[in-house]
Amino acid sequence: MAFEYHRILVAVDGSDASELAFKKAVDIVLRNNAKLFLVHVIDTRTITTVAPEVYDQTLAARSENYAQTLLQEYKTKASKNGVANIETHVEIGSPKIKIPKDLAKKFDADLIICGATGMNAVERFLIGSVSESITRYAKCDVLVVRS
């Protein structure tokens, strides 16, 4: 008897790696007839670490708009590929903590899918690998998709 996933969380940030993770997530969701949770975490620590003098409400609003637009694009793609049960969620904080500890628990995810690398090398240097943190702290299975 094959194991099935029922609640699949995919973390997206607009990077090529997260695009690949999303595509793989859609395939797995369809094979398992699962619910798809598309999540994006706005990492304010990256913004304030890189340029604290430019962080303001305008930047926060732009980040929120970007996240909502990104998730809507992914939701549309998933729907066009036959995924029926989709939920989107934007969170603010550290993706390293929010994804494996808060969001996976909130959505009772039995699989988290993420890209191996995120937005850029500077962010990875400053805050470390998000995928590494997810695999370390998640209570469910994690699939890290490599490009």
pLDDT value, residue 116: 84
| Total-model pTM | 0.86
pLDDT tens per residue, range 3-27? 899 999 999 998 888 999 999 999 9
Sheet holding 35-42, edge to edge: 86-92, 35-42, 7-11, 111-115, 141-145
| Rounded Cα–Cα distance for residues 69 and 75 (Å) | 10
| Rounded Cα–Cα distance for residues 60 and 65 (Å) | 9
CATH topology of domain 7-145: Rossmann fold (3.40.50)
Q: Mean pLDDT, to the nearest integer, of 46-65?
A: 68
Domain ranges of the chain: 7-145
Confidence bin at 130 (pLDDT 50/70/90):
confident
